[in-house]
Amino acid sequence: MAIREIIRMGHPTLRKVAEPVPEDFIGTPEFHTLVEDMRDTLAASGGIGLAAPQIDVSLQIAVVEVDELPSRYGTIPPIPFSVYVNPKITVLDEVTEGYWEGCLSVPGMRGFVERPQHIRVDYLDANGEPGSYEALGFQATLFQHEFDHLFGVLYVDKLKDPTLFAYEEEFDEFGLPEVESQS
Protein backbone atom coordinates (compact mmCIF):
# COMPACT_ATOMS: atom_id res chain seq x y z
CA MET A 1 0.00 0.00 0.00
CA ALA A 2 1.23 3.41 -0.83
CA ILE A 3 0.19 6.96 -1.40
CA ARG A 4 0.71 7.74 -5.08
CA GLU A 5 1.37 11.09 -6.66
CA ILE A 6 -1.76 12.76 -8.05
CA ILE A 7 -1.02 14.18 -11.48
CA ARG A 8 -2.34 17.62 -12.39
CA MET A 9 -4.09 19.20 -15.36
CA GLY A 10 -1.57 19.41 -18.19
CA HIS A 11 -0.34 15.84 -17.71
CA PRO A 12 -1.29 13.99 -20.89
CA THR A 13 -2.66 10.91 -19.06
CA LEU A 14 -5.58 13.03 -17.79
CA ARG A 15 -6.64 13.57 -21.41
CA LYS A 16 -6.54 9.94 -22.56
CA VAL A 17 -9.47 7.58 -22.75
CA ALA A 18 -8.55 4.95 -20.15
CA GLU A 19 -8.53 1.26 -21.05
CA PRO A 20 -11.40 -0.91 -19.82
CA VAL A 21 -10.15 -3.26 -17.12
CA PRO A 22 -9.87 -6.85 -18.42
CA GLU A 23 -12.06 -9.04 -16.18
CA ASP A 24 -9.19 -11.45 -15.56
CA PHE A 25 -7.14 -8.58 -14.07
CA ILE A 26 -9.75 -8.09 -11.31
CA GLY A 27 -8.78 -10.19 -8.31
CA THR A 28 -5.09 -10.32 -9.13
CA PRO A 29 -2.59 -9.08 -6.52
CA GLU A 30 -1.69 -6.22 -8.91
CA PHE A 31 -5.33 -5.15 -9.07
CA HIS A 32 -5.72 -5.21 -5.27
CA THR A 33 -2.50 -3.25 -4.80
CA LEU A 34 -3.74 -0.63 -7.23
CA VAL A 35 -7.11 -0.32 -5.47
CA GLU A 36 -5.45 -0.12 -2.04
CA ASP A 37 -3.09 2.55 -3.32
CA MET A 38 -6.08 4.49 -4.69
CA ARG A 39 -7.79 4.18 -1.30
CA ASP A 40 -4.69 5.41 0.54
CA THR A 41 -4.15 8.22 -1.93
CA LEU A 42 -7.78 9.36 -1.68
CA ALA A 43 -7.70 9.28 2.12
CA ALA A 44 -4.47 11.27 2.24
CA SER A 45 -5.81 13.85 -0.21
CA GLY A 46 -8.92 14.75 1.76
CA GLY A 47 -10.96 14.26 -1.43
CA ILE A 48 -14.16 12.24 -1.95
CA GLY A 49 -13.33 10.53 -5.25
CA LEU A 50 -10.31 9.46 -7.26
CA ALA A 51 -9.97 7.94 -10.71
CA ALA A 52 -7.02 5.75 -11.73
CA PRO A 53 -5.86 8.18 -14.46
CA GLN A 54 -5.28 10.74 -11.68
CA ILE A 55 -2.43 8.54 -10.41
CA ASP A 56 -1.20 8.06 -13.99
CA VAL A 57 -2.81 4.64 -14.45
CA SER A 58 -4.89 4.65 -17.61
CA LEU A 59 -7.49 2.10 -16.53
CA GLN A 60 -11.24 2.50 -16.02
CA ILE A 61 -11.30 2.34 -12.21
CA ALA A 62 -12.61 4.96 -9.80
CA VAL A 63 -13.00 4.96 -6.02
CA VAL A 64 -15.38 7.06 -3.94
CA GLU A 65 -15.73 7.60 -0.21
CA VAL A 66 -17.99 10.25 1.26
CA ASP A 67 -18.32 10.79 4.98
CA GLU A 68 -21.51 12.40 6.17
CA LEU A 69 -20.16 15.87 6.63
CA PRO A 70 -21.86 19.18 6.07
CA SER A 71 -19.89 21.06 3.44
CA ARG A 72 -20.27 23.71 0.81
CA TYR A 73 -22.60 21.22 -0.89
CA GLY A 74 -24.85 20.90 2.14
CA THR A 75 -25.04 17.54 3.86
CA ILE A 76 -23.92 14.92 1.37
CA PRO A 77 -25.46 11.48 1.77
CA PRO A 78 -22.50 9.29 2.75
CA ILE A 79 -21.05 6.61 0.48
CA PRO A 80 -18.84 3.97 2.11
CA PHE A 81 -15.56 3.30 0.33
CA SER A 82 -16.53 1.83 -3.02
CA VAL A 83 -14.71 0.69 -6.14
CA TYR A 84 -16.18 1.14 -9.63
CA VAL A 85 -14.61 -0.83 -12.47
CA ASN A 86 -15.62 -0.14 -16.08
CA PRO A 87 -18.59 1.98 -14.94
CA LYS A 88 -21.37 3.11 -17.25
CA ILE A 89 -23.75 5.97 -16.56
CA THR A 90 -27.38 6.03 -17.66
CA VAL A 91 -29.13 9.38 -17.26
CA LEU A 92 -32.59 8.75 -15.77
CA ASP A 93 -33.66 12.40 -15.76
CA GLU A 94 -32.13 15.08 -17.98
CA VAL A 95 -32.91 17.91 -15.55
CA THR A 96 -29.64 19.47 -14.47
CA GLU A 97 -28.48 21.31 -11.40
CA GLY A 98 -25.16 22.97 -10.75
CA TYR A 99 -22.54 22.65 -8.05
CA TRP A 100 -19.18 24.24 -7.42
CA GLU A 101 -16.85 21.37 -8.25
CA GLY A 102 -13.24 20.89 -7.35
CA CYS A 103 -10.70 18.32 -8.48
CA LEU A 104 -7.55 16.87 -6.97
CA SER A 105 -5.93 17.29 -10.40
CA VAL A 106 -6.88 20.99 -10.53
CA PRO A 107 -5.89 21.89 -6.98
CA GLY A 108 -7.00 25.07 -5.29
CA MET A 109 -9.77 25.88 -7.76
CA ARG A 110 -13.53 25.61 -8.00
CA GLY A 111 -15.81 25.82 -11.01
CA PHE A 112 -19.56 25.76 -11.46
CA VAL A 113 -20.83 22.84 -13.53
CA GLU A 114 -24.40 21.73 -14.25
CA ARG A 115 -25.09 18.03 -14.68
CA PRO A 116 -28.10 15.68 -14.66
CA GLN A 117 -29.13 14.89 -11.08
CA HIS A 118 -30.65 11.45 -11.44
CA ILE A 119 -28.48 8.71 -12.94
CA ARG A 120 -27.87 5.01 -12.69
CA VAL A 121 -24.35 3.65 -12.44
CA ASP A 122 -23.63 0.10 -13.63
CA TYR A 123 -20.19 -1.24 -12.79
CA LEU A 124 -18.11 -4.13 -11.54
CA ASP A 125 -17.01 -4.00 -7.92
CA ALA A 126 -13.57 -4.87 -6.53
CA ASN A 127 -14.49 -8.58 -6.68
CA GLY A 128 -15.67 -8.38 -10.27
CA GLU A 129 -19.34 -8.62 -9.24
CA PRO A 130 -21.77 -6.47 -11.20
CA GLY A 131 -23.40 -3.67 -9.26
CA SER A 132 -25.97 -0.99 -9.97
CA TYR A 133 -26.61 2.22 -8.03
CA GLU A 134 -29.06 5.07 -8.49
CA ALA A 135 -27.58 8.41 -7.56
CA LEU A 136 -29.42 11.66 -6.96
CA GLY A 137 -28.30 15.23 -6.50
CA PHE A 138 -24.71 15.85 -5.52
CA GLN A 139 -23.95 12.11 -5.60
CA ALA A 140 -24.96 12.10 -9.28
CA THR A 141 -22.61 15.00 -9.90
CA LEU A 142 -19.79 13.22 -8.05
CA PHE A 143 -20.07 10.04 -10.12
CA GLN A 144 -20.21 11.96 -13.40
CA HIS A 145 -17.13 13.97 -12.38
CA GLU A 146 -15.16 10.86 -11.43
CA PHE A 147 -16.16 8.79 -14.44
CA ASP A 148 -15.41 11.68 -16.81
CA HIS A 149 -11.77 11.18 -15.75
CA LEU A 150 -11.93 7.71 -17.34
CA PHE A 151 -12.64 9.36 -20.69
CA GLY A 152 -10.09 12.17 -20.59
CA VAL A 153 -12.60 14.80 -19.50
CA LEU A 154 -12.09 17.34 -16.71
CA TYR A 155 -14.77 19.46 -15.06
CA VAL A 156 -13.17 22.59 -16.47
CA ASP A 157 -14.34 21.39 -19.92
CA LYS A 158 -17.93 21.68 -18.67
CA LEU A 159 -17.93 25.03 -16.91
CA LYS A 160 -21.30 26.70 -17.27
CA ASP A 161 -19.54 30.03 -17.77
CA PRO A 162 -15.78 30.79 -17.78
CA THR A 163 -16.37 33.50 -15.17
CA LEU A 164 -17.66 30.86 -12.75
CA PHE A 165 -14.16 29.50 -12.14
CA ALA A 166 -11.96 30.79 -9.36
CA TYR A 167 -9.39 30.06 -6.69
CA GLU A 168 -10.73 28.68 -3.42
CA GLU A 169 -8.84 31.30 -1.43
CA GLU A 170 -10.59 34.09 -3.30
CA PHE A 171 -13.93 32.36 -2.73
CA ASP A 172 -13.22 32.38 0.96
CA GLU A 173 -12.21 36.04 0.86
CA PHE A 174 -14.83 37.44 -1.50
CA GLY A 175 -17.59 34.82 -1.49
CA LEU A 176 -18.95 32.77 -4.33
CA PRO A 177 -19.70 34.55 -7.60
CA GLU A 178 -23.41 34.90 -8.22
CA VAL A 179 -24.83 32.18 -10.43
CA GLU A 180 -27.79 33.04 -12.63
CA SER A 181 -30.79 30.80 -13.00
CA GLN A 182 -29.94 27.15 -12.57
CA SER A 183 -31.93 25.20 -15.11
Residues near Zn ion (CB under 5 A) are 103
Q: How far is the CB of 145 from Zn ion (least distance, A)?
A: 6
The CB-nearest residue to Zn ion is 103
- C-beta of residue 32 within 8 angstroms of C-beta of residue 68: no
Minimum distance, C-beta of residue 155 to Zn ion, in the bound complex (Å): 6
Within 13 A of 58's CA, how many CA atoms are on the CB side?
12
CA distance 9 to 15: 9
Strands 49-51, 70-71: parallel, antiparallel or unpaired by DSSP? unpaired
* Residue 103 or 140 having the CB closest to Zn ion: 103
| Residue 170 falls in the annotated catalytic set | no
Nearer to Zn ion, 42 or 103 (CB): 103
Shortest spacing between CB 49 and Zn ion, in angstroms = 7
d(CA 136, CA 138): 6
Number of residues written out for the chain: 183
Q: How far is the CB of 175 from Zn ion (least distance, A)?
A: 24
> Cα(134)–Cα(179) distance, rounded to whole angstroms?
28
CA–CA gap between residue 163 and residue 79 (Å, rounded) = 31
Nearer to Zn ion, 55 or 103 (CB): 103
Nearer residue to Zn ion within complex by CB, 26 or 99: 99
Give the active site residue among 146, 169, 173, 180: 146
Active site positions, annotated: 146
